[in-house]
Amino acid sequence: MADMIQILVLGLALGGVYALMGSGLSLVFGVMRIVNLAHPSLVMAGAYIAYWAFRLGGVDPMVTLPVALVILAATGVLLYKLVFEREARSAKYSEMTVLLTFALAMVVEGALGTAFTNTQRVTSPDYATDAFFIGSVFIPKGQLYSGIVSLTIISALALFLKFSAFGNAIRATTQNRDAAELLGVNVNLVGLVSFAIGIGLAGAAGALVSFVFSFFPAKHWEWIAILMSLVVLGGMGSILGTVLAAFILSIVAAYVGFFFGATWSTLTFFVALFVVLLVRPQGLFGEKPELA
Amino acid sequence: MSALLQVSNVVAGYGDGPAILNGASVKVQPGKVHCIIGPNGAGKSTLLKAIVGMLRIREGDVRFKGESVKGLRPDQVLRKGICFVPQERALFPKMTVRENLRMGGYSMRDKVELERRIDEIEARFPILKERRDQHAGTLSGGQQQTLSMARTMILRPEIVMLDEPSLGLAPKIVAEIFDIMRVMTEDGITILLVEQNALMGLKHADWGVVLDLGRTLFEGPGQEILNDPRIQELYLGGRKAA
């Protein structure tokens, strides 16, 4: 029994970081219909920012987090202006964005590999290797903190989307782009801001990832599949759905790891991806797909 | 009386495609319900989209109160006082009724005034008040149409253009929708709607405009057009081969 609770706690603790990575991806998809395959590679870039700040300056990744967020958000603005805004007028927009983001992922991976080699890295502030104990259940501090920070950021995002005028415009654009435009929403600006927020969240997640997982430039390939499964289970574009999916799947993955061995735990996400697409393609909170 | 909105010989189409409108003209008189009818593919919806700036007007002009609105973006046309409700009702299904109304006044600076106007709308359409915290996607078709139309009133526009407001609604509900249009005209709003169901549209409209193959064939008071033999010809296939 204690084992079962222990695994639940570990699963929950990891869910937060996945949720943060997934919510940025989900926001960008929701507003711009871009399946951003480069999202995890940008998470990786955030992780390197946190890693080097810690390694060279002894700066805590939690402190670097807002910096990584801003740097990546600025990168997002640049990418949007240089690449995606132009592409939005193309008739083959969706196909193009898949190719573009795939290429972008390769470029980021290559750049990180060239600059920092393919060595495994991990940021190791004191709390990353420490834990709380409640009875016999241990809670790794690093994962707990990263989970709390992730949920705080996601809550802030949710409040912004729900209660601010611009947040409402973002949601409106996600749900009905033409209608939003007819009502005077500058959908291009909404796209730009959402893209910047989404990529900024990747940077923030990267700072947390830097001490939760060991990482190297090519690791993002593993994550894109995991994040896709979260976003699909949550319902493409639904942030609440993505967060729930992140917790559900990371808990299930933790149990799978316990019963069948750690190598199988990643498989949970892929199996979930297939099952969701077969059984409930709209995910938890997505729109029912139109029969076409 | 000078026209509130004057569409003259407009030529327009989608992207680089062929022209759907080939010289459509409409005169809109203030305070009246105008109904554009015509067979499938006549260019009815296209005309509304061209007026509101969703499509580029290739030739001709659109004048609103004497001033050309040709080439303006949809949000600019909206600010001039022309509101458009497209066929799909243009709601945000996962936002509440109240949030949908609030989006209707997105372009307003004065948010206090916006809330006041929303309260006013809720007082006039009790169903919207009752359902204020419900997602718009969970409303019935009639309620959704009511919300779409009520939402246009937030900005107190001069003209509201409706693309097939009766689509998919039961006859009894359709009657209610036309009642709302009457209420809107009493508020000084001029209505320009497109109807597939010509009979019903003309019955409720003050003025009818018949469109075919992207051109205005003729226009006149709704009742007169209803009895015009040319209508029979148009809808029952008397058209001569081109």
User: Tens digit of pLDDT for each residue in A28-71?
Assistant: 998 988 899 999 999 999 999 999 999 999 999 999 999 999 99
d(C-alpha B135, C-alpha A3), whole Å? 42
CA A59 to mean position of chain CA atoms: 23
The pLDDT value recorded for residue A145 is 94
User: Tens digit of pLDDT for each residue in B16-42?
Assistant: 888 899 989 999 999 999 999 988 888
Return the top range by mean pLDDT from A94-103, A165-174, A233-242, B221-230: A165-174
d(C-alpha B34, C-alpha B3), whole Å? 12
Token pair recorded at residue B16 = 């680089």
pLDDT band at B67; cut points 50, 70, 90: very high
Nearest to B212 by CA among B48, B28, B10, B41: B41
User: Tens digit of pLDDT for each residue in B122-181?
Assistant: 999 999 999 999 999 999 999 999 999 999 999 999 999 999 998 888 888 988 999 999
Nearest to A30 by CA among A240, A220, A222, A186: A240
pLDDT at B210 over 50: yes
User: Tens digit of pLDDT for each residue in A6-27?
Assistant: 999 888 888 999 999 999 999 9
The pLDDT value recorded for residue A37 is 95
Alpha helix positions (H), chain A: 2-32, 39-57, 61-79, 85-87, 93-116, 141-163, 165-175, 177-182, 187-212, 220-234, 239-260, 262-265, 267-279
φ, ψ of residue A138 to 5 degrees: the values are -105, 140
pLDDT band at B239; cut points 50, 70, 90: low
- Residue whose token pair is 């809109």: B28
The pLDDT value recorded for residue B241 is 45
Domain ranges of chain B: 1-80+206-242
Would the CB atoms of A185 and B94 count as touching at under 8 Å? no
Q: Compute and round to an integer the Cα radius of gyration of chain A.
A: 19
Nearest to B218 by CA among B8, B24, B39, B10: B24
Would the CB atoms of A171 and B94 count as touching at under 8 Å? yes
Chain A residues in contact with B102 by the CB 8 A cut-off are: 168
Q: Å from B162 to nearest chain A CA? A: 13
- Give this prediction's pTM: 0.88
Nearest to A168 by CA among B187, B101, B37: B101
d(C-alpha B154, C-alpha B101), whole Å? 7
Amino acid occupying residue B154: I
pLDDT band at A291; cut points 50, 70, 90: very low
Pick B1-80+206-242's CATH classification: 1.20.210.10, 3.40.50.970, 3.10.20.740, 3.40.50.300.
3.40.50.300
Would the CB atoms of B78 and A181 count as touching at under 8 Å? no
pLDDT at A92 over 90: no
Cβ pairs A/B, distance under 8 A: 61
Would the CB atoms of A183 and B103 count as touching at under 8 Å? yes
